Amino acid sequence: MITMNKYKFVSNRVMKNSKGEEKGKMRVMVPSGTETAHMDYVCPECGLAKHEETPWIRPFSFTCPKCGFLMKLPKLKEEIKKEKKQAKKELEKSSGLDV
């Protein structure tokens, strides 16, 4: 069982490829008292599934060793803002209200 007192950071996200398709996954866990990220991922670009341990640095990113695709794990708040802004632009464009 994962409890937050054992980990200082836990994230489980769907990752998008270069075409914007949700094709990959990334789970990152950083145990309390360490600076090492334990990561399980499926590259959204090439499909490589792997476990890695890498230094924990924010903003967190990782390059796929097979295809070179850069997977970024932005802060969730920033990711939500970006998605809302994109959705607003698409709505304005589809309704003919280009700004």
DSSP structure class, residue 32: T
Does residue 55 form part of some domain? yes
Does residue 79 form part of some domain? no
Does residue 78 form part of some domain? no
Instruction: Say how far apart CA 95 and CA 89 lie, in whole Å.
Output: 10
Does residue 34 form part of some domain? yes
In which domain, by residue range, is 69 found? Answer: 7-73
Does residue 81 form part of some domain? no
Give the count of domains, the chain.
1
The predicted model scores a pTM of 0.71
Does residue 85 form part of some domain? no
Does residue 49 form part of some domain? yes
User: Across the 99 residues of the chain, what is the mean pLDDT of every consecutive 10-residue run?
Assistant: 77 92 94 94 97 91 95 76 76 69
Per-residue pLDDT at 3: 62
Buried b (16+ CB within 10 A) or exposed e, 43-69: bbbeeeeeeeeeebeeebebebeeeeb
